[in-house]
Amino acid sequence: MTMDQANIVIVGGGVVGCAIARALSMRWDDVFLLEALPRIGMLTSTRNSGVIHSGIYYPPSSLKAQHCVRGNQLTYEFCATNGVPYRKIGKIVVASSNGEMKDLTALMENGRTNGVEGLRIIDSRAIRAREPHVEGVSALEVPSTGILSSEEFVKTHARLATGRGAHIVTNARVERLESARNTIRVFSAVGEIETRCLVNSAGLFADEVAALLGSKMAQHRIYPVRGEYCELTRDKQDLVRGLVYPLPHADGLSLGVHLTKTLWGSVLVGPTARYVTDKNDYERDREPVEYFATLAKRLLPSVVASDFIPAYSGIRPKLVPPPDSSAAAAKATGMADFIIQPDPDFPRAIHLIGIESPGLTSAPSIAEHVTRLVGEVLA
């Protein structure tokens, strides 16, 4: 039996996988992307706020900081060039009390260290001028933040990849991996293929793909964290004009429940952050609208529970375990960095693990990074 041959197989058709396929197809032939689901981008890539992040939150010199700042620039360029709907509207991060001013200033300094431009602290009067219904003592103004259509962002990367000859195959769940002398054999639901380079960009399931290879990289376990959203009712959408954030969680779990005026005029409120045991658990025990009202009132005091309707949820691929778990004692807590590296034991494989926020913004920059790594594998 003969087996199909490829230069590169990418596992995972989220925004990062599709951006990688686009970048690699500009340089190599026989690029394949295998997506387990019926369509690309059905999970984390489109179940989010659709925000183009600036890079203010992430530790200096981290991959998250580097790829977010670079990805911010590349994402705006990509959207403008390829007709992906977007708006560069900026955002404010609001301090609700004087006690939060120290953290707000530290966030601004962190952003400046990361190379984010245009940051400044504004007072309560400037907050009201920008967002008349939002209450706070001060806010960090972040002009490089924006919003986009995440679904169109994913689809456009995929379309450009296929236009350059890449093969994107859906319903192609990877079932087995075997390392050969100079290749890796990929056994999927649609057949078998032998590749000179495997790129594991499987998102929530990247640790499981690493385990299929027998890789030590599988020790980087993914802990799914569900984020739920509500929307403001149509008659309350004018309460928010742009992007309004609280200060992020001190434990690094989330950027906090924020207010997002979408491209379509609706207002998202969320996401929450709760560890779940099942990577496909999007709906069980959803939070009531009263919970969202309580959280949103810190920023938007006039809202009541009847102003909210349930929306969708998404799941983040966290590398940090729940604080009350047995694994937490053996692992660092806080904000974990992206893992993007060749496999130490299987040199034909490159792993991307823990690609959560700001993965959407970072996707074009991550694609550049992976292209360099693939070049070293195929040299």
Residues 227 and 297 in one domain: yes
> Is the preceding omega at residue 143 within 30 degrees of 0, hence cis?
no
The CATH number covering residue 271 comes to 3.30.9.10
Q: What are phi and psi of 145, to 5 degrees?
A: -80, 150
Taking only the tens of pLDDT, the chain with its 379 residues reads 346 899 999 999 999 999 999 999 999 999 999 999 999 999 999 999 999 999 999 999 999 999 999 999 999 999 999 999 999 999 999 999 999 999 999 999 999 999 999 999 999 999 999 999 999 999 999 999 999 999 999 999 999 999 999 999 999 999 999 999 899 999 999 999 999 999 999 999 999 999 999 999 999 999 999 999 999 999 999 999 999 999 998 777 788 899 999 999 999 999 999 999 999 999 999 999 999 999 999 999 999 999 999 999 999 999 999 987 766 545 555 689 999 999 999 999 999 999 999 999 999 999 999 999 999 999 9
Cα–Cα dist 270/225, whole Å: 13
Cα–Cα dist 286/96, whole Å: 27
Chain centre to alpha carbon of residue 220? 18
Q: What is the pTM of this model?
A: 0.96
**What residues make up the domain containing 295?**
88-143+223-318
Domain count, the chain: 2
Cα–Cα dist 193/185, whole Å: 6
Cα–Cα dist 9/378, whole Å: 13
Q: Are the CB atoms for 358 and 239 separated by under 8 Å? A: no
Q: Are the CB atoms for 67 and 75 separated by under 8 Å? A: no
Q: Does residue 159 form part of some domain?
A: yes
Q: Does residue 71 form part of some domain?
A: no
pLDDT digits (tens, 9 = 90+) for 86-142: 999 999 999 999 999 999 999 999 999 999 999 999 999 999 999 999 999 999 999
DSSP states of 53-89: --S-SSPTTSHHHHHHHHHHHHHHHHHHHHT--EE--
Q: Does residue 355 form part of some domain?
A: yes
The CATH number covering residue 14 comes to 3.50.50.60
| DSSP conformation class of 288 | P
